[in-house]
Amino acid sequence: MTDDRQASFSLRYASGDMPWDSGITPPEIVELLADLPAGWALDLGCGAGTVMRHLLRRGWRADGLDFVQRAIDMADAKLREFSPESYRLFRHDVTRLDDLPLLRSDYNLIIDIGCGHSLDPADVGRYADSIASRLNAGGLFMLYASHPRPDSTVGWAPRQVAQTLGRQLDLLWEQRGDDLSIGAPASWYKLRKPA
């Protein structure tokens, strides 16, 4: 299943069909980082690296994962101005974090903007477990996910997020809005691993 999804995302990068790649860091992330001391972050489905660049500019160190090589290459090109010690990029599946021993288990912040909501439902439990196990106690998980819609397999209902990720993380807030790029409702979620 993941192979089909990977092929589909690869095609979209190859044809330049990436409406998510605005080059702008979402204000929810900008505001969060303004008040948070720098640490280690993990960007799941990092795409072309816009959020990683913002993290590095704010003094964070960051790991980014994406299963599309073109995305990793674009992110690498964007991050070359930073010291090689400050970031790492991996072409890897976010549902297989345990297969990547180089990843840390004490991230202060994990971010998923538009990646998890397209996973095979069979992989979501493992994905949620690995996020909880990779976060430091007190660490934050920022998630952006569209809501389910009839014409798409992509989307997580807020109730699903509470049931899966909320099992091990505290849901601090959810903010609903309309995602104009897909013409559907979507939510930001801020979750925290209990200290």
Q: Summarize as ranges the residues that interact with ligand SAM (CB under 6 A).
A: 2, 5, 9, 20-21, 45-47, 50, 65-68, 71, 93-95, 113-115, 118-119
CB within 8 A of 137, min separation 6: which ones? 193, 194, 195
* Residue number, 54 or 104, with CB nearest to ligand SAM: 54
Contact 94, 67 (CB under 8 A): yes
Contact 131, 100 (CB under 8 A): no
Three-state SS for 160? Answer: helix
* Residue number, 14 or 138, with CB nearest to ligand SAM: 14
HEC readout, 96-138: HHHHCCCCCCCEEEEEEECCHHHCCHHHHHHHHHHHHHHEEEE
Residue 32: strand pairing partners: none
Please, what is the minimum distance in Å from the beta carbon of residue 157 to ligand SAM? Answer: 18
What count of other Cβ atoms lies within 10 Å of the Cβ of residue 68? 22
Task: At 190, give phi and psi (nearest 5°).
Answer: -120, 120
* Residue number, 71 or 135, with CB nearest to ligand SAM: 71
Please, what is the minimum distance in Å from the beta carbon of residue 33 to ligand SAM? Answer: 15
Please, what is the minimum distance in Å from the beta carbon of residue 194 to ligand SAM? Answer: 26
Burial pattern 111-139, b for ≥16 Cβ within 10 A else e, equals bbbbbbbbbeeebbeebbbbbbebbbeeb
* Residue number, 19 or 138, with CB nearest to ligand SAM: 19
Please, what is the minimum distance in Å from the beta carbon of residue 60 to ligand SAM? Answer: 16
Please, what is the minimum distance in Å from the beta carbon of residue 195 to ligand SAM? Answer: 27
* Residue number, 38 or 154, with CB nearest to ligand SAM: 154
What count of other Cβ atoms lies within 10 Å of the Cβ of residue 77? 11
Please, what is the minimum distance in Å from the beta carbon of residue 79 to ligand SAM? Answer: 14
* Residue number, 92 or 193, with CB nearest to ligand SAM: 92
